[in-house]
Amino acid sequence: MGKRAQRMRRAIADRAQMDGRDAYRCDKCGRYTVTVAVDKGATPDRLGCRTTSGCDGYGVSLGMPHPWPEGVPTEPRWEWYRPDAAALDRLRRAGGATWAHVEAGGLLIRRKGKAIT
């Protein structure tokens, strides 16, 4: 791959990262869970369906695509966030997989616009 193509690929990836949106297509119901990263950090490649009530399927990340694919909803209903200090302390004391994920730079998910409780 030439240097120009590499620069173009980096620019596309940077724009997708700046936008922070991603979508996960469910393997059972076929609907999309659209997310946005409000903080910097890692998000998973797979996510349990959050679009269809009662669906136990998993969605696979579209990889923060740019341009956004036609036919995929554009408005995020979920957001990835970094927990505040108090929540981090609770997670640390509880231990487990969620703490390990956050400690390694991972983000947590919540409904868009909801405060941490």
Confidence of residue 114 (pLDDT cuts 50, 70, 90): confident
What is the average pLDDT value for the chain, to the nearest integer? 87
**Separation between Cα atoms, residue 79 and residue 61, nearest integer Å:** 14
Q: 35 versus 14: which is more confidently predicted?
A: 35
**Separation between Cα atoms, residue 91 and residue 33, nearest integer Å:** 25
- The answer, as to whether pTM is greater than 0.85, is no
**Does residue 30 sit within a domain?**
yes
Which run of H or of E encompasses 15?
helix 3-19
For the chain, the 3-state helix, strand and coil shares in percent, each to the nearest 5, are 30, 25, 45
**Does residue 59 sit within a domain?**
yes
The answer to whether 22 and 63 have CB atoms below 8 angstroms apart is yes
Residues 68-113: tens digit of each pLDDT: 999 999 999 999 999 999 999 999 999 999 999 999 999 999 999 8
What pLDDT shows up at residue 66?
Answer: 83
Report which DSSP code applies to 114. P
**Does residue 117 sit within a domain?**
no
For 77, the domain range is 3-111
Domain count, the chain: 1
